[in-house]
Amino acid sequence: MRLLEDRIRTDGKVRGGDVLKVDGFLNHMIDVRFVAELGREFYRLFKDCGINKILTIESSGIGVACLTAQFFDCPVVFAKKAKTKNIDADVYTASVFSYTHGRTYDIMVSKDYLGKGDRVLFIDDFLAKGAALIGIVDIVRQSGAELVGAGIVIEKAYQDGGERIRSLGVRVESLARIASMSEEGGIVFCD
């Protein structure tokens, strides 16, 4: 998506440790009008898929998920990061390894809000190694819902997450796919 690539080129900052900071419009300050345009694009891509629920993970996915959900006229469910090991029978849980923080955490979704008959679109800001999305695939499978696809704002296509998720049969649509990036060389997008 040209609009997004231009914005990343203008406002994104490549930092050491494979970090792309897009805090100025997506992750800390949210340019709501701009992000709604990303939502409109997700709608264009998935509008014929019968989606009735959008799923994301707190925190940074929530804004884009809500602004996207308006086009689908459906609710958003956000998976919560569990503070403690949750053995509550009322929730689906999955473990996610965070490469950023070097530890495993649990995500959970209440059984009240996801289940058989739901057609789910997962929305998130980033896809890199795919750990969070693997956890989501697990939770949706537990619930009996169908994961129709994943709408990702920025995919680090030089990492293997996208390939892992696609090899599971999940349709992944990323609005910007980064082929490579470095502090010296800047950002190169996939064709």
Residue 53 CB, nearest distance to a second copy (Å)?
8
How many CB atoms lie under 10 A from the CB of residue 2?
A: 9
Complex with a second copy: residue 35 or 154, whichever CB lies closer: 35
Residue 178 CB, nearest distance to a second copy (Å)?
22
Q: How far is CA 110 from CA 80, 86, 141, 149, in A?
A: 9, 11, 14, 20
Complex with a second copy: residue 32 or 190, whichever CB lies closer: 32
Rg of the chain on CA atoms, in Å = 16
Residue 160 CB, nearest distance to a second copy (Å)?
26
Residue 126 CB, nearest distance to a second copy (Å)?
16
Complex with a second copy: residue 73 or 191, whichever CB lies closer: 73
Phi first, then psi, for residue 53 (nearest 5°) are: -155, 140
Binding site for a second copy (CB under 8 A): 23-25, 28-33, 35-36, 58-59, 62-63, 65-67, 69-70, 73-78, 80, 83, 101, 109-110, 112-113
Q: Which residue has the tokens 């995500």?
A: 107
Complex with a second copy: residue 84 or 167, whichever CB lies closer: 84
Complex with a second copy: residue 65 or 128, whichever CB lies closer: 65
> CA-to-CA distance for 20 and 143, rounded, in angstroms?
33
**How is residue 2 written in tokens?**
């040209």
Residue 132 CB, nearest distance to a second copy (Å)?
14
> CA-to-CA distance for 161 and 51, rounded, in angstroms?
23
